[in-house]
Amino acid sequence: MNVRGLLGGWNVVKNLLVCIPLFACLLLNSGCALISGEPARKEITSFYSPSTTEFKRDAGSLLDPPFVAGNSIKTLHNGDEIFPAMLSAIRSAQHTINFETYVLWDGHIAREFVDALAERARSGVKVNVILDALGTHKMGGENLVHLRDAGVDVFKYHTIFWLDPRRYNYRTHRKLLIVDGKVAFTGGVGIADEWAGNGQGTKKYRDNQYEMTGPVVAQLQGAFCTLWLRSKGDVLSGPEYFPTLTNSGPYLAQTVSSSTWDGNLDFLYRLAIASAHKTLRIENAYFLPDKLIRQELVAAAKRGVKVEIIVPGELIDSKLIRVASKKHYPELLEAGVKIYEYQMAMLHVKLMIVDDTLVSIGSGNFDNRSTRLNAEVNVNVLDANFAAQHIDLFEQDKARSRETKLREHKGFHPFQHLINLALPAL
């Protein structure tokens, strides 16, 4: 083969190698999936309003487990409130700690958590940790060694497995902490310095996390223990993990655990949209609903529901998702959906409020990756007072957002934007 032929062959190989990272980026960030045997999905045209007793009965049975009464739920805003509360709970542990996270990046905050978990393990507390292999790739080897040397049982979830590389596409995106089976935390927070502070700044995250006591804690514990069983084969049980829980507050709550093998989050979102009769408020870090969910949002707006959505603005950690999301704005805006882009920081909140009664909080994003691939946990709360608190939070974030208009998206060509985004990397 002559030199020109060799160079031509090399150029082909080089172009293929360039495409691989771009494809991987699209796969991991936009929710592209390698799914076979997907369950049938049809539009849910209507459902009981959350303000009815029928909703509690039917949604409790369909989503499973049922709503349980007597829970206390404290909303923690941004790192200044979130991290001290979580670290205090860890340091108070007497028997067990179960901790599962997607993000743990080396830095001051991560080292505080690692030190606290290691200290409890050395003191005889049984500490079990699930770290997503992709999301915690920046945790630093020293932190991992520190945990294991202290006796923490650490499991890296879905590392690269060359015999079946598809496995790497299925992540755990949960943010769970359960201490002594009595107090639990969930929400959107990552264990990283980017979440520290008051949720303002171009490189900071605006987020919510929730501290819970009462019977719903056993449901959250069950979500962790089920994934631990599937991952390691070990059964975590007994009073150290599942103590008797007494009523501690006024809230009716339900845990919805979702994963690759069940798709419960997808069903939760579609059922909630169908149950909206008056208002539907969605605030989410990654808003990329598929065609069916977009149809259901449009149908809700057309039947007279006031639909408002807050999404990240220019300050977002995944430009590809923003580009892909904006492609569908015209379809929603034309139906009367209001869309607001947050301006003060990187919005990472996951919140849905339906008919001023149902509030869904947790780790789930509004994209295919969360609804049909990732392991996620959301908690549904049926309470008008709790909803009112979150409507206030929603309105505060909306005031820091810019409403996007239909005229801004005329002639929008997302494919060209993808090319422009990819060129610097090439």
Strands 205-206 and 346-347, by their bridges, are parallel
9 exposed, middle or buried (CB, 10 Å; 0-12, 13-18, 19+)? exposed
180 catalytic? Reply is: yes
Q: At a CB cut-off of 8 Å and minimum separation 6, what does 223 contact?
A: 174, 176, 255, 257, 377
CA gap 81, 75 in Å, rounded: 9
Cis peptide before 215 (omega within 30 of 0): no
User: Of the residues 132, 180, 367, 383, which is catalytic?
Assistant: 180
Any idea what the Cα angle at residue 381 is, between residues 264 and 347, rounded to 5°?
Answer: 75
CA gap 152, 187 in Å, rounded: 23
User: Of the residues 132, 266, 355, 383, which is catalytic?
Assistant: 355
User: Of the residues 182, 328, 348, 390, which is catalytic?
Assistant: 348
108 catalytic? Reply is: no
42 catalytic? Reply is: no
Name residue, tokens 């409403």: 403
410 catalytic? Reply is: no
Q: Is the dihedral of CA 42, 46, 48, 49 positive or negative?
A: positive
User: Of the residues 56, 106, 175, 397, which is catalytic?
Assistant: 175
Q: At a CB cut-off of 8 Å and minimum separation 6, what does 352 contact?
A: 269, 272, 280, 281, 282, 283, 284, 358, 359, 360
CA gap 100, 228 in Å, rounded: 10
CA gap 311, 281 in Å, rounded: 11
CA gap 45, 52 in Å, rounded: 17
CA gap 365, 324 in Å, rounded: 15
306 catalytic? Reply is: no
Helices (H), 42-196: 53-63, 78-91, 108-122, 141-149
355 catalytic? Reply is: yes
Q: Is 164 helix (H, G, I), strand (E, B) or coil?
A: coil
User: Of the residues 182, 204, 277, 350, which is catalytic?
Assistant: 350
Name residue, tokens 């994003």: 365
Contact 344/40 with Cβ under 8 angstroms? no
User: Of the residues 56, 106, 132, 173, which is catalytic?
Assistant: 173
H or E stretch including 396? helix 384-399
Tell me which residues are annotated as active site. Answer: 173, 175, 180, 348, 350, 355
